């Protein structure tokens, strides 16, 4: 279906009368339109183009399905096309406008003309629009290129060549060469299991992820999550003053900083009393952790109450038991973070709260609320940390900061713990930069070497 156009200039008065809904045109209008049509050779190619489209459609769908051209304002008229189809035994007509976008001034009027002239026993199904049909968009795109310039098989999205799930968390990579996920995780998997696979039901995500942006490089976040508990008494000094953290600023030093290999880092803080054991998790989760088939891990996690770390390069986690208000008990929650780099000094944070399926509904809710009040984007800890990352980013870009080196040597005189029984290399005392430096060493490898996973 299309608008219709006169075959000769002689037909102009009658054509214009039909276009004007039956009102005869003035002589001036007829003269003007004849002049316009004269400028394009005396006639419009619309009818030929529409007939050619019909021929192409016939060739595509075969002789079984009749195709007819109908114009609203000139021969062949829509009513004649419908009569022709009905005479051929057609009972269902699909009306396709030769304009992809809907308009009340064109397409609606073609549809109205067809409905008004519909023979008895024939159903009419108009296509209102197809401007966003993928094949039309593709056709337009192809028009913009010379045929041999657009080699589509060589273009398109970059395929994710390896996709693997780790207890329901899905990881993908573009590289065909990097090792499989479990091999890449290595010893980090041994620790991750104490977070997402510590009960038969496993972990589940609570609610939707919270997403926000921070004006800092994504490695600021990683640095914070490779284990820097020494920032607590300073960056979160106001929380100490509120009495929400233990008064001894060195209390956070009790635990292990662990380099789990392949760039993965974490720290495990030691439980000072029994109720803090097993990350301070409720009995319905503890009962399963007490039955961990790995006796070394069972003993290690029994004595741990805080676990923070990063799966190289940009997936971090925080398992913490914390007070969110003066009058509420400390509550454990598990938070996973993805640091999405969206610029040299801009990071999008994706933050998920995970709970164990076996947890009571009441504990799950308390866990979520505690996260929101502390480490959600409006949380009392998160507000401090975001301000620090952004302010450090601003200061570090200044002339004075750029002309001095930063000192990264805290705790480096310490030797790896010889009595540590867990996986990886561990140092006693978490106030150290061993893990952060191990992370940056791995990152440098990935920048410098063509195949960093293959070793030095």
| Binding footprint of Fe ion on the chain (CB under 5 A) | 385
- Distances in Å between the alpha carbon of 403 and those of 302, 407, 437? 47, 13, 21
| Spatial distance between the Cα atoms of 332 and 268, rounded to a whole number of angstroms | 15
For 134, counting Cβ atoms within 10 Å of its Cβ (0-12 exposed, 13-18 middle, 19+ buried), the class is exposed
| Spatial distance between the Cα atoms of 151 and 341, rounded to a whole number of angstroms | 31
- Whether the link from the prior residue into 309 is cis, omega within 30° of 0, is no
Nearer to Fe ion, 87 or 250 (CB): 250
What DSSP state is assigned to residue 9? G
The residue sitting closest to Fe ion, measured at its beta carbon, is 385
Closest separation in Å from C-beta 349 to Fe ion: 13
Helix, strand counts (H, E) of the chain: 17, 12
Closest separation in Å from C-beta 314 to Fe ion: 18
Token code pair at residue 267: 């720290």
Closest separation in Å from C-beta 169 to Fe ion: 24
At residue 160, the 3 state secondary structure works out as coil
| Spatial distance between the Cα atoms of 390 and 386, rounded to a whole number of angstroms | 6
Nearer to Fe ion, 19 or 349 (CB): 349
Token code pair at residue 20: 């004007």
Nearer to Fe ion, 69 or 222 (CB): 222
Rounded to 5 degrees, φ, ψ at 129 are: -160, 155
Nearer to Fe ion, 162 or 383 (CB): 383
Rounded to 5 degrees, φ, ψ at 437 are: -70, -35
Q: Which residues contact 386 (CB under 8 A, 6 or more apart)?
A: 214, 216, 377
* Selection from 257, 167, 174 nearest residue 204 by Cα: 167
Nearer to Fe ion, 50 or 351 (CB): 351
Rounded to 5 degrees, φ, ψ at 203 are: -95, 155
Strands 255-261 and 92-95: unpaired
Nearer to Fe ion, 321 or 385 (CB): 385
Nearer to Fe ion, 225 or 256 (CB): 225
| Spatial distance between the Cα atoms of 340 and 85, rounded to a whole number of angstroms | 59
CB 65 within 8 A of CB 94: no
Closest separation in Å from C-beta 207 to Fe ion: 22
Closest separation in Å from C-beta 384 to Fe ion: 6
Nearer to Fe ion, 356 or 385 (CB): 385
Closest separation in Å from C-beta 375 to Fe ion: 8
Closest separation in Å from C-beta 347 to Fe ion: 15
Closest separation in Å from C-beta 373 to Fe ion: 14
Closest separation in Å from C-beta 269 to Fe ion: 14
Nearer to Fe ion, 216 or 300 (CB): 216
Closest separation in Å from C-beta 335 to Fe ion: 12
* Selection from 269, 252, 217 nearest residue 440 by Cα: 217
CB 321 within 8 A of CB 295: no
Strands 331-343 and 315-322: antiparallel
Nearer to Fe ion, 19 or 239 (CB): 239
Closest separation in Å from C-beta 221 to Fe ion: 11
CB 331 within 8 A of CB 370: yes
Q: In angstroms, what is the C-alpha Rg of the chain?
A: 35
Nearer to Fe ion, 385 or 442 (CB): 385
């Amino acid at each position: 279906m299309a608008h219709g156009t006169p075959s000769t200039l002689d037909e102009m008065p009658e054509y214009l009368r039909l276009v004007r809904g039956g009102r005869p045109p003035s002589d001036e209008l007829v003269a003007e339109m004849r002049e316009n049509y004269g400028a394009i050779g005396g006639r419009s190619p619309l009818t030929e183009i529409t007939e050619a489209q019909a021929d192409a459609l016939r060739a595509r769908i075969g002789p079984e399905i009749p195709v007819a051209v109908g114009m609203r304002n000139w021969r062949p008229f829509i009513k004649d096309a419908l009569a022709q189809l009905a005479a051929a035994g057609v009972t269902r007509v699909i009306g396709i406008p030769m304009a992809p976008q809907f308009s009340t001034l064109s397409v609606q009027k073609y549809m109205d003309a067809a409905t008004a002239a519909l023979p008895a026993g024939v159903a009419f199904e108009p296509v209102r629009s197809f401007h966003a049909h993928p094949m039309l968009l593709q056709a337009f795109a192809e028009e913009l290129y010379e045929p041999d310039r657009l080699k589509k098989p060589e273009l398109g999205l970059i395929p994710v060549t390896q996709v693997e799930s780790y207890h329901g968390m899905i990881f993908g990579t573009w590289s065909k060469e990097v090792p499989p996920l479990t091999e890449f995780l290595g010893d980090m998997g041994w620790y991750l299991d104490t977070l997402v696979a510590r009960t038969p039901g496993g972990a589940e995500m609570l609610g939707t992820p919270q997403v926000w942006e921070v004006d800092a490089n994504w490695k600021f976040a990683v640095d914070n999550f490779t284990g820097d508990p020494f920032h607590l008494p300073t960056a979160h000094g106001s929380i100490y003053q509120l009495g929400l953290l233990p008064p001894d600023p060195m209390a956070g030093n009790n635990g292990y900083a662990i380099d789990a290999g392949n760039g993965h880092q974490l720290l495990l803080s030691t439980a000072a009393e029994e109720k803090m054991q097993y990350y301070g998790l409720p009995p319905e989760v503890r009962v399963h952790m007490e039955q961990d088939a790995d006796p070394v891990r069972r003993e290690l996690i029994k004595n741990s109450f805080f676990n923070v770390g990063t799966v190289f390069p940009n997936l971090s986690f925080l398992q913490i038991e914390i007070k969110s208000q003066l009058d509420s008990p400390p509550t454990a929650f598990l938070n996973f973070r993805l640091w999405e780099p969206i610029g040299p000094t801009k990071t999008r944070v994706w933050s998920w709260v995970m709970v164990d399926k076996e947890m009571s509904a009441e504990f799950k809710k308390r866990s979520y609320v505690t996260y929101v009040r502390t480490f959600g984007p409006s949380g009392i800890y998160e507000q401090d940390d975001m301000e620090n990352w952004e302010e450090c980013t601003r200061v570090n870009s200044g002339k004075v900061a750029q002309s001095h080196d930063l000192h990264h040597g805290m705790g480096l005189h310490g030797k790896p713990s010889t009595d540590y029984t867990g996986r990886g290399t561990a140092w006693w005392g978490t106030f150290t930069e061993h893990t952060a430096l191990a992370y940056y060493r791995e990152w440098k490898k990935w920048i410098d070497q063509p195949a960093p996973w293959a070793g030095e």
